[in-house]
Amino acid sequence: MKFGLLLKKYLIRGKTGQFVIKFAGEEHLCKIYIEDGNAVYISMGTRKPDDTLSYIAGKEMEEANFIEGVPPLKRLDEPLNDKLLTLLSDEQAGQTLDDINFEGTAPSQAVDKLLNDFIDIVGPLGTVIAKKVFSSLAYNRGSDMSGANYSVLLASLLDELPEKTREDFKSRHL
């Protein structure tokens, strides 16, 4: 799953908490404090915020978690949203949440259908890929999924599909 897709999910008005990311090969966690949809502080070990931003560019995310309601310990003079989004625009081209917007709630049957179609295309590895995305979204199989989470799930799975099958897959599941 792409760091940028998941981060955009939390950079919306009304979201406050701590977005914690484990990057591959890193011993320190990256923590982004979000207040009312604005990234107000970032830390990773002993690095300064600007150093952290440049350091995480191009890093591969292993795991991520959003802890709702955690207030920021510190604040920078300006929100980091623009800097983060500029940094993330360098991620490999693929689907973005701007391309996918699922309204309402996705019933568990729709999530299962999406997963089964994905596995039919990519094979058994699809189960492993989907589990990582489900974990990042804190989703439990068999329950309904919010539209925002479904959008992130669909965008993440689309990035794993061969180019020629993406549009058809997307149209079947939106």
| Residue 148 belongs to a domain | yes
Residue 1 is predicted with a pLDDT of 58
Question: Looking at the structure, do residues 111 and 164 belong to the same domain, yes or no?
Answer: yes
Domain stops at, among 88, 119, 138: 88
At residue 163, φ and ψ (nearest 5 deg) are: -50, -40
At residue 4, φ and ψ (nearest 5 deg) are: -60, -40
Question: Looking at the structure, do residues 67 and 26 belong to the same domain, yes or no?
Answer: yes
The total domain count for the chain is 2
| Residue 81 belongs to a domain | yes
Domain stops at, among 53, 88, 123: 88
Residue 135 backbone class (left: φ over 0; alpha: ψ -120 to 50; beta: rest) = alpha
Query: What's the Cα-to-Cα distance from 153 to each of 23, 59, 120, 156, 161, rounded to whole Å?
Result: 20, 20, 16, 5, 13
Domain stops at, among 39, 54, 88: 88
pLDDT band (50, 70, 90) for residue 97: low
∠ Cα 40 11 150 (to 5°) = 155
100-131, pLDDT tens digit by residue?
A: 778 889 999 999 999 999 999 999 998 988 88
Half-sphere exposure of 14 (CA within 13 A, CB side): 1
**Domain span holding position 149:** 105-173
Question: Looking at the structure, do residues 7 and 79 belong to the same domain, yes or no?
Answer: yes
